């Protein structure tokens, strides 16, 4: 609620000035509302801080017909939106009026409920529009130059903020990635595997990828992403996929599970290597590689689309959308280890058999 004054309220006042109709409106900040003087119609402002209180919003006179939900992407759960939608606006209105809810947002993540609710399955009572800066008549040359610069320096952010495409831009951790397939897997490619444990609310996440250390490329070709998996089920599914004899880096925070999985047949499973700044160092190491994800790995695509830094903290990743990302980071330790092993072997040869 405390952000309205400098956002939606300010926008509507700006629109009054731009359209030359300010004399027709009364703008007050206590309470925060805008009144259309010729009819007495009002625009009232509410926050989504408490959806239950918001759902009880009503007016003393007239009819509450129109709702505008700005920055709807910040509503994390469809259930919260539906509580609002089922209660505001409600009741009979005269025949000359109608009810309408307008939802505006930037489409940061294609896995957000907004896409599945309104765009993937269009209903007859819903109209969806995508706009971009190219059709914004209020932008001048300076504004346009900002987007052109964004296009060159931050393609991911440009696609969302500039072109209105689905994705994540602001604070995205991994930007150099795409969806595709690997046609020719030469001897330069080596397979790596990682496992992050979960159970009830968090999923168990297993990732399989190939790395080409020569060309700095990484190809994700398989995944497991499920909740409520027992260790026996984890082992059974990994073995069924043909990875039972592979070296798998698993979360070292669960030594009991690691021992159990080895007993269940994953004999080469070993704990992840953790230490000071291991998370940020792992992220930086992976960032050196171009990532390609097989289209079948939908959960990896979803996490790459939404794994972001804490706002205002470039070196602190958010603790969400990161289960497969953690598994990839565990496994990537072996990518770096093999790089170092080759360097070490080279140094021994060049130094008469002595390592450096």
**Would strands 313-317 and 309-310 be described as parallel, antiparallel, or unpaired?**
antiparallel
**Would strands 248-250 and 66-70 be described as parallel, antiparallel, or unpaired?**
unpaired
pTM of the shown model: 0.59
Per-residue model confidence as pLDDT tens digits over 100-151: 999 998 887 777 889 999 999 888 999 998 899 999 888 999 999 999 988 8
Per-residue model confidence as pLDDT tens digits over 265-299: 999 999 999 888 899 999 999 999 999 999 889 88
Per-residue model confidence as pLDDT tens digits over 61-76: 888 889 999 988 878 7
- How many of the other CB atoms lie within 10 Å of CB of 282? 22
State how far the Cα of 306 lies from the Cα of 298, in Å rounded to an integer. 13
Edge-to-edge order in the sheet of strand 25-29: 25-29, 32-36, 41-44
Which domains are seen in the chain, by residue range? 8-131 (3.40.50.300), 177-347 (3.30.420.280)
More confident residue, 34 or 306: 34
Per-residue model confidence as pLDDT tens digits over 195-253: 999 998 899 999 999 999 999 999 999 999 999 999 999 999 999 999 999 999 999 99
Kind plus residue range of the DSSP H or E element containing 209:
strand 204-212
For residue 168, name the pLDDT band (cuts at 50, 70, 90).
low
């Amino acid at each position: 609620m405390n952000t309205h004054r400098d956002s939606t309220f300010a926008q509507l006042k700006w629109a009054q000035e731009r359209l030359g109709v300010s004399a027709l409106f009364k703008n007050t900040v206590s309470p925060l509302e805008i009144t259309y003087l010729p009819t007495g119609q009002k625009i009232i402002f509410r926050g989504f801080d408490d959806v239950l209180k918001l759902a009880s919003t009503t007016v003393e006179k007239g009819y509450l017909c129109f709702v505008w939900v700005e920055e709807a992407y910040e509503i994390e759960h469809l259930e919260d939106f539906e509580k609002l939608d089922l209660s505001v606006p409600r009741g009979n209105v005269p025949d000359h009026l109608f009810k309408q809810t307008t939802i505006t947002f930037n489409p940061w993540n294609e896995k957000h409920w907004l896409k599945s609710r309104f765009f993937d399955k269009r209903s007859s009572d819903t109209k969806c529009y995508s706009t971009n800066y190219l059709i914004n008549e209020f932008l001048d040359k300076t504004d346009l130059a900002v987007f052109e610069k964004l296009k060159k320096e931050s393609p991911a952010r440009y696609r969302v903020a500039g072109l209105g495409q689905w994705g994540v831009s602001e604070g995205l951790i991994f930007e150099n990635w795409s969806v595709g397939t690997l046609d020719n897997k030469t001897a330069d490619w080596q397979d790596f595997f990682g496992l992050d444990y979960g159970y009830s609310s968090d999923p168990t996440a297993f990732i399989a990828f190939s790395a080409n250390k020569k060309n700095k490329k990484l190809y994700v070709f398989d995944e497991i992403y499920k909740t409520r998996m027992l260790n026996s089920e984890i082992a059974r599914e990994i073995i069924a996929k043909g990875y039972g004899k592979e070296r798998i880096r698993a979360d070292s925070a669960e030594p009991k599970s690691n021992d159990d999985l080895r007993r269940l047949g994953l004999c080469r499973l070993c704990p992840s290597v953790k230490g000071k700044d291991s998370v940020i160092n792992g992220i930086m190491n992976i960032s050196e590689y171009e990532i390609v994800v097989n289209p079948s790995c939908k959960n990896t695509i979803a996490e790459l689309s939404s794994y972001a830094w804490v706002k205002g903290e470039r070196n602190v990743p958010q603790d969400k959308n990161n289960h497969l990302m953690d598994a990839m980071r565990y496994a990537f330790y072996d990518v770096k280890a093999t790089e170092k092993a080759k360097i070490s072997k080279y140094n021994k040869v060049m130094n008469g058999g002595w390592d450096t």
